[in-house]
């Protein structure tokens, strides 16, 4: 086993458990460093989004990636969760299945919203964090580059993501519009200033929203987002006040605990005058205490409430799936062929080194017997020897390359070792 994977998504991990399992950027960096110490010599990339937590590990020779149960225990330890709770909801894969899964994820085929474009940026960020943490390497590097190349092909060669639907767009179009017919007369409160917040605000502006307040714990980020898309920044300390004034709230922070508690909401509720309130809680962990949902006049939707709308989206895009799957199959075979060919490198190096050493010895012996040869003649003879060696090596090297496309060429490698007396 060279590649290993363990992870879970919105389809397998309940939201309450997924909230506990989610990693912030800082927590992910700490986990990568812990992995590096725990499993030296192995590569690892951690992908954590609102809908999935996945660990991709790689290694060769004496530093093979850990088995599934160790990876599950590692994730449980990092987040302070009983491994017994995670084992039933996390799945593990190895080698080709890992590659196919990552390529499907990056291409949006495994997203809640089929073809969602945001996942590509999240895959890039996960890989960049692994590089910054010095836990990426040649195997994960090549795999993630191939995944991004595959995603680009799917986006350009199919219509899977042409409508650019995403979780924020579904939230606004399917849920907020289910309560409000128009947005130009509504007060919108946006909590958070990351990419999800940026995209949500863009959709709200396109839907007609004009009165938008942006809150973030970092005032500068709130100001930049508000200025970019026509909102106005507020002060996070005034969250309760803004909550009382809002008609629609969209929350997308990366906080590890609810930003709006039941107590805070109840305190603001009395100042709302019975007006309806729609809350789109797109954060994992959730930003709003779920006990707020049953309060009178409140429509509180969490990330998992989008599942039905996203399933309808999936069905409408299903006709593009065969073409996308064909691309993923092609790219998976291509990557696995290259990966298998890597295993032939030591044998190829030994073959070339042996021929080079033997050729050099024979040339030296020949030149000693022919002392009258000038440098130009010696050079011509040397080049002829090198061309001859290259032509003789070409058939076995081509066979190795072709054999690698179908799988690990163990039989051919063993035969070459025996024929040419090569050591392991």
- Whether 286 and 15 have beta carbons less than 8 Å apart is answered as yes
Predicted pLDDT of residue 315:
74
pLDDT band at 342 (very low <50, low <70, confident <90, very high): low
- In DSSP terms, 288 is beta-bridged to 260
pLDDT band at 114 (very low <50, low <70, confident <90, very high): confident
- Determine the average pLDDT of the residues in 321-337: 92
Annotated catalytic residue, options 21, 31, 32, 50: 50
| Dihedral sign for Cα atoms in the order 193, 195, 197, 203 | positive
Predicted pLDDT of residue 375:
86
Range with lowest mean pLDDT among 161-165, 214-218, 231-235 = 161-165
- Smallest CA-to-CA distance from 74 within 49, 96, 57 is with 57
Predicted pLDDT of residue 407:
60
For residue 217, give both structure tokens. Answer: 């714990």
- Determine the average pLDDT of the residues in 25-31: 95
- Determine the average pLDDT of the residues in 228-245: 91
Catalytic residue check, 50: yes
Range with lowest mean pLDDT among 123-132, 161-170, 375-384 = 161-170
Task: Pick 97 or 351 by higher pLDDT.
Answer: 97
Output the average pLDDT for the chain: 86
What DSSP state is assigned to residue 112?
S
Q: What is the pLDDT of residues 363-413, one digit of tens each?
A: 888 888 888 888 888 888 888 877 877 787 777 767 666 665 666 655 665
Task: Cite the beta strand spans of 149-217 per DSSP E.
Answer: 187-191, 211-215
For residue 304, give both structure tokens. Answer: 């998992």
- Smallest CA-to-CA distance from 136 within 205, 210, 59 is with 59
- Tell me the CATH class for 3-158: alpha beta
How does 24-57 read in b/e, with b if 16+ C-beta sit within 10 Å?
Answer: eeebbbebbeebbeebeebbbbbbbbbbbbbbbb
Residues whose CB falls within 8 Å of the CB of residue 398, separated by 6 or more in sequence, listed in order: none
156, HSE (Cβ side, Cα atoms, 13 Å): 6
d(CA 309, CA 113): 9
- What CATH homologous superfamily does 167-308 map to? NAD(P)-binding Rossmann-like Domain (3.40.50.720)
Other beta carbons within 10 angstroms of residue 155's beta carbon come to 19
- Determine the average pLDDT of the residues in 110-123: 84
Task: Cite the beta strand spans of 161-320 per DSSP E.
Answer: 187-191, 211-215, 232-233, 248-251, 277-281, 298-301
Domain limits, the chain: 3-158, 167-308, 343-419
d(CA 100, CA 336): 10
Q: What is the pLDDT of residues 178-197, one digit of tens each?
A: 888 889 999 999 999 888 88
Q: What is the pLDDT of residues 277-310, one digit of tens each?
A: 999 998 989 999 999 999 999 999 998 887 777 7
Predicted pLDDT of residue 380:
86
Residues whose CB falls within 8 Å of the CB of residue 370, separated by 6 or more in sequence, listed in order: none
- Smallest CA-to-CA distance from 31 within 19, 44, 40 is with 44
- Whether 5 and 93 have beta carbons less than 8 Å apart is answered as yes
Q: What is the pLDDT of residues 65-103, one digit of tens each?
A: 999 999 999 999 999 999 999 999 999 999 999 999 999
d(CA 176, CA 192): 18
Position 171 pLDDT exceeds 90: no
0.75 exceeded by the pTM?
no
Predicted pLDDT of residue 422:
58
């Amino acid at each position: 086993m060279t590649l290993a994977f363990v992870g879970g998504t919105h389809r397998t991990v309940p939201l309450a458990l997924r909230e506990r399992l989610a990693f912030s950027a800082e927590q992910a960096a700490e986990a990568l460093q812990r992995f590096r110490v725990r499993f030296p010599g192995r590569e690892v990339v951690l992908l954590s989004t609102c809908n999935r937590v996945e660990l991709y590990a790689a290694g060769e020779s004496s530093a093979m990636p850990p088995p599934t149960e160790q990876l599950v225990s590692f994730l449980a330890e990092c987040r302070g969760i009983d491994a017994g709770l995670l084992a039933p909801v996390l799945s593990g894969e190895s080698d080709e299945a890992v590659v196919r899964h990552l390529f499907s994820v990056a291409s949006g085929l495994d997203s809640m919203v089929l073809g969602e474009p945001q996942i590509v940026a999240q895959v890039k960020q996960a890989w960049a964090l692994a590089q910054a943490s010095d836990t990426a390497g040649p195997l994960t590097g090549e795999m993630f580059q191939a995944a991004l190349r595959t995603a680009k092909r799917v986006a350009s060669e199919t219509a899977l993501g042409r409508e650019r639907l995403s979780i924020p767009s579904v939230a606004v179009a399917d849920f907020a519009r289910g309560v409000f017919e128009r947005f130009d007369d509504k007060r919108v409160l946006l909590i958070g200033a990351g990419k999800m917040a940026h995209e949500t605000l863009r959709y709200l502006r396109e839907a007609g929203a004009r009165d938008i307040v942006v809150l973030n714990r970092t005032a500068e980020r709130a100001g930049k987002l508000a200025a970019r898309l026509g909102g106005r920044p507020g002060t996070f300390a005034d969250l309760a006040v803004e909550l009382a004034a809002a008609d629609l709230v969209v929350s997308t922070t990366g906080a590890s605990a609810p930003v709006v508690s039941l107590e805070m909401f109840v305190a603001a509720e009395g100042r709302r005058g019975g007006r309806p309130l729609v809350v789109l809680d797109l954060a994992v962990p959730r930003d709003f205490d779920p006990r707020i949902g049953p309060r009178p006049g409140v429509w509180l939707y969490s990330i998992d409430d989008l599942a039905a709308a996203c399933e309808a989206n999936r069905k409408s895009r299903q006709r593009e799936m065969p073409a996308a799957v064909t691309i993923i199959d092609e790219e998976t075979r291509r990557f696995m062929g290259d990966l298998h060919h890597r295993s032939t490198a030591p044998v190829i190096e030994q073959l070339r080194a042996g021929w080079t050493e033997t050729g050099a010895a024979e040339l030296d012996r020949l030149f000693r017997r022919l002392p009258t040869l000038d440098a130009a003649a010696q050079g011509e003879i040397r080049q002829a020897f090198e061309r001859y060696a290259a032509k003789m090596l070409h058939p076995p090297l081509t066979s190795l390359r072709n054999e690698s496309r179908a799988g690990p060429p163990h039989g051919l490698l063993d035969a070459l070792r025996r024929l040419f007396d090569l050591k392991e």
